[in-house]
Structure 1
């Protein structure tokens, strides 16, 4: 299994292409001409999302159009995907204006962006893909529709629930600091310390590196 990271211009968000031979699953899609080159001669089997915020979902509709692939998402995520005020596309440009340290991309945002899942699950789902076991579990805290995506128990795509610098703020609408502390952190501490975490922003790290902060 090969993991390719593509850093998008939207808040330097990580899109991941998980590949086996010519087949791939795309996590948190962004689309431009550079991504098209990366996916040349590839078969996109599925789109997965770590959560519903615009910087992590902006490529969903384009991927569906270009590759004929389906989106699998949990029901809370799917509800927010269809609402620009919930997926934050409505406020994305304003966010850049209030964050003077961020460089705004030189293209227009779709401030009325929406998309929807083709297949929906509730709290968790497990399935096989190219001889890999994929397990997705809803994990609260950063957003209402956030989840962890595991491949074969040793690789975790955490979105913005776990980042390499600190526990991400739950101050955005849909975030819940109490749920993060009471539900997410106890679950995180049950995971093997050598699991490799691929976050929504920044570099990958082992969970062991994170334990000193979250315990």
Structure 2
């Protein structure tokens, strides 16, 4: 799980049980999975959220190997305190930190605009080469495309 916001975890209990898979999330956001009150207070939650306990807690730079796949984790605080980007080969699952030509909102609890921008800059400067980015919302993008968009924004002021 990239982060513990309602729209990313609402059916987590059912998915975990149906597929019989462990839930992996950052140590920082793990408590969100167990906070039914926090999740169920959202006006769009029509079916009550059922708490889930994470099976594996991760930190930045952790690596999980599964068969021939290697999952590495990059801390991306700013959308939530414990937001993580999950990197598999040349793919990044960014959650709501970086999306096509924009970043995620920071108006929800745990959000911090400066921290999110700093996290995105860290990603752009740490990862060498291009990666496909699969955000939690909107269309996919690439790290090179986002680098060019942000450079263009800095140069033009738009």
Q: TM-score surpassing 0.5?
A: yes
For structure 1, which runs of at least 5 residues remain unmatched after alignment?
1-48, 95-107
- CA offsets, 1:115-152, max 9 Å, x none? 22011123331021221211012211111221000002
| Aligned residue number for residue 108 of structure 2 | 172
User: Quick check: 2:92–2:133 contact (8 Å CA) kept in 1?
Assistant: yes
The count of corresponding residues between Structure 1 and Structure 2 is: 150
Instruction: Say which SS state the counterpart of residue 135 (structure 1) adopts.
Output: strand
> Separation in 2 of the partners of 1:55 and 1:150?
21
Shift of 1:114: 2.3
User: Quick check: 1:93–1:109 contact (8 Å CA) kept in 2?
Assistant: no
Shift of 1:55: 1.1
1 or 2 for the larger relative contact order (CA 8 Å, sep ≥6)?
2
> Separation in 2 of the partners of 1:92 and 1:126?
36
| Aligned residue number for residue 109 of structure 1 | 47
User: Quick check: 2:64–2:71 contact (8 Å CA) kept in 1?
Assistant: yes
For 1:7-26, what aligned pairs fall within 5 Å after superposition? none
1:89 aligned residue (21, 35, 40): 40
User: Quick check: 2:76–2:84 contact (8 Å CA) kept in 1?
Assistant: yes
Shift of 1:193: 4.3
2:133 aligned residue (197, 200, 205): 197
| Aligned residue number for residue 8 of structure 2 | 56
Query: Comparing both structures, which one devotes a greater share of its residues to strand?
Result: 1
For 1:8-47, what aligned pairs fall within 5 Å after superposition? none
TM-score, length of structure 1 as denominator length? 0.63
For structure 2, which runs of at least 5 residues remain unmatched after alignment?
152-158
| Aligned residue number for residue 185 of structure 1 | 120
TM-score, length of structure 2 as denominator length? 0.84
1:127 aligned residue (64, 67, 75): 64
| Aligned residue number for residue 118 of structure 1 | 55
> Separation in 1 of the partners of 2:128 and 2:142?
10
